[in-house]
Amino acid sequence: MADVTMRVWRGDSSGGQFADYTMPAVEGEVVLDVVHRIQAGPAPDLACRWNCKAGKCGSCSAEINGMPRLMCMTRMDELPTHEPIVVAPMKTFPIIRDLVTDVSFNYVMARQLPPLKPKAPEPDGTYRMQQVDVERGQEFRKCIECFLCQNVCHVIRDHEENKPSYAGPRMFIRYMELESHPLDTNDRLELLRQRMGIGLCNITKCCTEVCPEHIKITDNAIIPLKERVVSSSYDPIAWLGRKILRRTKRSAGEAAQDAPAFTAPTSEDRLERQAVPVAVAPATAGGTPGAPAPSAPDVPPTAPAADA
Amino acid sequence: MADGHLAGSGAGELETHDFDVVVIGAGGAGLRAAVEAKDRGLRTALVCKSLLGKAHTVMAEGGAAAAMGNVWPEDSWQVHFRDTMRGGKMLNNWRMAQLHAQEAPDRIYELERWGALFDRTKDGKILQRDFGGHRYARLAHVGDRTGLELIRTLQQRAVAQGIEVFMECKILRLLKDGEGRVSAAVGYWRPTGGFVAFTAKAFVLATGSVGKSWKYTSNSWESTGDGHAMALWAGADMIDMECVQFHPTGMVWPLSVRGILVTEGVRGDGGVLRNSEGRRFMFDYIPAMFAAETADSEAEGDRWYDDHINNRRPPELLPRDEVARSINSEVKAGRGSPHGGVFLDIASRRSAEYIRRRLPSMYHQFKELAGVDITAEPMEVGPTCHYIMGGIRVEADTAASTVPGLFACGEVAGGMHGSNRLGGNSLSDLLVFGRRAGMAASDYAEGRTGSPAIDRAEAQAVVAEALAPFGRDGGESPYDVHRDLQETMQALVGIIRTESELRQAAEELDKLGERADRVAVSGGRAYNPGWNLATDLPSMLTVSRLVATGALERRESRGGHTRDDYPKPDPEFGKVNLVQRLDDQGRFTVTPEPLLQMPPELAALFEEPAAGTTAAPGKEGH
């Protein structure tokens, strides 16, 4: 077989450029295989994330010839080989190195989600749920957290300033999953409206198009959530329904109280800190036993109040 | 909070964090342990090599075994216990197998309270599916992505609790205090290459598997046996490290995906194995131990799916070690598939709609990676290195290792599965013993006096060793050493072993060890996979030596350990664990030590043909 040329972005937060690697083509390979062969050969320090190599963990997201994809599920034989195959990191997240980006935004948003508040179980201590009722949530729980939907979402891809107040498609399906969860009693609609930016989405369906799990993010999660948020806020019949069902509508602030992120800084603050470029000791500095210990990250650790 | 920097005299600084309990590894076991410790109110940290939620648990497909009796009310913990022990060829720590069988149902129901959405029975209970070696349909599942459901549920629970998670952090070594208690762990941040130490009153190892020492494996890059190696280096006992599970059905083609798992659920849901002649060859390999409960005709095997009481299970659902060896034999006899496996056929046996509903990710995986439509044609499958039954010797009730302050749960712990693990018992194992490790580590931390300290000189030695590959000129690439290690283990310490090859493996591992000491890496420390691999090599080599040493010493065939030169089980070896530890000079020692003695009431379960089940007249084994 002929050779393939991979044009891979190399660099860090201070900048970088594409580098070409020409490798022999091998039958049946996916993009990640070729990246691995580049690591084992010409560029041992080429950074990329991966774990399962079977489309189940969502680690190896990248932009391949401009398309957001999982590297492990993109077969080489479906890509044109007469020109270099361009592999770039996800654009929406800050670069750590090469193909690795700082996705801590997603973990910060996950922490702001008020968790499941299950209703009381059956007398035997367990729950009964019908298959048809769990299937709706199961669609969203297929999510492998590759964050490709977040990556292509225009609200944050081109508008860094929207990030603090926009949960993004990945989190919207999580909200919808809980909204449709047969056991949940929590109300997060005001939170979604006021602080999670559900209204900012303008339904371009880019997220749905790139989802490797084929979750119908827009149709089955975002649109229904938008409708619920609207009726919850403005619909008198919904107001009456709540009265009858004795479901108290919770304000954004009340709902947020359930989420750890609103009460204490924890884990992902540290992840954010990791992404800060650190002065790296010269390669030879620690080469011999007894040599100086490496420098620590230049940002002091945050004191985690939650564990006190 | 003692977070801060250890001041050093002109030697830079080492970032340190202090906790009550530090859990290393954030797959199912580590998450469950951390959740428990945090629930107890302890200052708890979770440290993991990848991002949270990416650990190998996501790859588990079929389900979590628990005798809830939702599909077959005849099921009970006693039957599950018996299946587990027999599947492990009685080498199991009986107390672990008992606790596991008794507590697994509660652990599953607990996940449901935390948001998991399992598939349901018609009356709304958690549905359970059939799997190899389990007498009854027992695996709680979500299609064929149960591991993802489990890790996501635990991850979301941990996040809701506000557990501190230290992601993309590789731990290199455990350090002990003057009294021999584990007190610190030293590692580095992968994104920056900066070093970090954790001090804590108790440490839980939940680092998972070792598969990356083999060429064809279902494991991800993370499965380098870090926990196994660190425990051994810290003085812990390891048991039965020769017992490695080769899952019978990994993908074999294309080569780049060779080893990726094909769930046993395919067979549980009706799939059968055929050789190149179209024969269901598993009927030719039914061992005496399971003959009484295995169908001897295709017709009976097929009836069993609808009627477990009056029919016996098809031989495709024998325990994994039996199926893997049988496939190996068929391929060796020249009856394999074009790419060196056998055929796994569900297309001719179930409707396309059923297959897509029950096995969505298998459908997807074959379609995308191999261009095979499993609803229309058979899959090609063959054995792949999947799981290690051996591991850190632990006390059943507490998951305590033999080193004070060190606990272990999940795959890194040994004993629970004996010489062979049943499918579905791993997800339930990590829930049951993750919780127990979290409880016991919390107890230990609460009872421990004084503040754990870190020995600066020791920490600096760890750092220096990790950085050494940067300083070498003209050394070998770590990728080359890793590739040769994988070739060696695959060829000489694979599914079928023999003395001459194991001796050769020992020599090769010595040479590889010397090569690993000379590897050189280029580039900086920030997210440098070449350097990261160089720091993984010591663990992989240590684990490989443990496996090869145990395999040479166990001169019998049992479960996940098959010797060509000793093809039968030896009752004398069936009474012992092979315990490995380091002696004062740092040499490996291996000692046979007697198994725990099972109490009579449990031993009695093995005297009847099938305890705790209703027997169909005239059919022994039911």
The residue that leads in pLDDT, A279 or B578, is: B578
Contact A44 B17 (CB under 8 A): no
Mark whether B358 and B467 lie in a shared domain: no
Please tell me which residue of chain B has the smallest CA distance to A59: B54
Q: Is the pLDDT of residue A80 over 50?
A: yes
pLDDT in tens, A220-263: 999 999 999 998 877 777 667 766 665 566 888 888 888 877 65
Q: Which residue of B54, B164, B459 is in closest CB contact with A304?
A: B164
Query: What ipTM score was computed for the predicted complex, to two decimals?
Result: 0.92
- Interatomic CA distance for residues A260 and B300, integer angstroms: 55
B contacts of A277 (beta carbons < 8 Å): 192, 526
- Per the listing, tokens 């003959």 go with B291
* Structure tokens belonging to residue B432: 């049951």
Cβ contact, residue pair A103, B51, below 8 Å: yes
Instruction: Indicate the average pLDDT of chain A.
Output: 85
Q: Which residues of chain B have pLDDT under 70?
A: 1-12, 608-622
Alpha-carbon torsion (B290, B296, B300, B305), positive or negative: positive
Q: Which CATH class is domain A3-101?
A: alpha beta
Whether the Cβ atoms of residue B410 and residue B206 lie closer than 8 Å to each other: yes
Residues B592 and B553: their CA atoms lie apart, in Å, by 9
Q: Which of A14, A126, A178, A185 to mutate to test the interface with B (most CBs of B within 10 A)?
A: A126
pLDDT tens for A112-131 read 999 999 999 999 999 999 99
Q: With bands split at pLDDT 50, 70 and 90, how would you rate the model's confidence at A273?
A: very low
Is the domain of B566 the same as that of B483?
yes
Residues of A in contact with B466 (CB under 8 A): 286
Note whether A12 contacts B: Cβ–Cβ < 8 A. yes
Count of C-beta atoms within a 10 Å radius of residue B548:
27
How far does chain A reach from its first CA to its final CA, in angstroms? 61
3-state secondary structure of B357: helix
Total structural domains within chain B? 2
Query: CA B17, CA B198: separation in Å to the nearest integer?
Result: 5
Q: In which domain, by residue range, is B525 found?
A: 458-582
Indicate the length of chain B as a whole number: 622
Question: Which CATH number fits the domain that encloses residue B493?
Answer: 1.20.58.100
pLDDT tens for B237-262 read 999 999 999 999 999 988 888 999 99
Nearest to B376 by CA among B354, B357, B352: B352
Contact B464 A308 (CB under 8 A): no
Are residues B378 and B483 located together in one domain of the fold?
no
Asked whether the predicted pLDDT for residue A270 surpasses 70, the reply is no
Task: Determine the pLDDT at residue B608.
Answer: 62
In the prediction, which pLDDT does B622 show? 30
Residue that is last in its domain, among B362, B385, B408: B385
Query: Which of A59, A284, A291 shows the shortest C-beta gap to B51?
Result: A59
Q: CATH number of the domain at B254, please.
A: 3.90.700.10
What is the per-residue pLDDT for A260?
A: 79
Give domain status of residue B499, yes or no.
yes
How far the first Cα of chain B sits from its last, in Å, is 59
Out of B332, B365, B385, a domain closes at B385
Q: Inspect the interface and report whether the beta carbons of A280 and B460 lie closer than 8 Å.
A: no
| Structural domain boundaries in chain A | 3-101, 104-262
All residues of chain B having their beta carbon less than 8 Å from the beta carbon of residue A41 are 479
**b/e burial code for range B191-216 (CB count within 10 A of at least 16 → b):** bbbbbbbbbbbbbbbbbbbbbbbbbb
Concerning whether B280 is annotated as a catalytic residue, the answer is no
Contact A137 B193 (CB under 8 A): no
- Selecting from B58, B220, B526 the residue whose C-beta is nearest the C-beta of A278 gives B526
B247 is catalytic: yes
> The domain A104-262 is classified under which CATH number: 3.30.70.2190, 1.10.1060.10, 3.20.20.210, 3.20.20.140?
1.10.1060.10
Contact A289 B465 (CB under 8 A): yes
- Using 50, 70 and 90 to split pLDDT, how confident is the model at A294? very low
Do the domains A104-262 and A3-101 match in fold? no
- Taking the CA of residue B568 and the nearest CA in chain A, the distance in Å comes to 36
3-state helix, strand, coil in chain A (%, to 5): 40, 15, 45
> Are B470 and A73 within 8 A, CB to CB?
no
- As a whole number of angstroms, the distance between CA B383 and CA A44 comes to 30
Is B415:B395 a contact under the CB 8 Å cutoff?
no
Question: What does the alpha-carbon distance between residue B515 and residue B322 come to, in Å, rounded to a whole number?
Answer: 37
Closest Cα partner for A267 from B508, B515, B168, B348? B168
Q: How far apart are CA B418 and CA B433, in angstroms?
A: 15
Residue of B nearest to A12 (CA): B526
- Active-site residue, selected from the candidate residues B267, B358, B482, B497: B267
- DSSP, res A288: S
Contact A297 B194 (CB under 8 A): yes
Residues of chain A with Cβ-Cβ distance to B461 below 8 Å are 289
With CB atoms and an 8 Å threshold, state whether A50 touches B3: no
What's the gap in Å between the CA of B120 and the closest CA on chain A? 5
> Which residues face B176 on adjacent strands?
B182
Residues B257 and B381 in one domain: yes
What pTM does this model have?
0.91
How distant is the Cα of A155 from the closest Cα of chain B, in angstroms?
24
Alpha carbon distance B250, B329 (integer Å): 16
A275 touches chain B (CB under 8 A): yes
Q: How many CB pairs under 8 A join A and B?
A: 300
The shortest CB-CB distance from A144 to any of B11, B148, B164 is to B148
* One domain for residues B376 and B478: no
Residue B549 within a domain = yes
Q: Among B247, B274, B581, B622, which one carries the catalytic annotation? A: B247
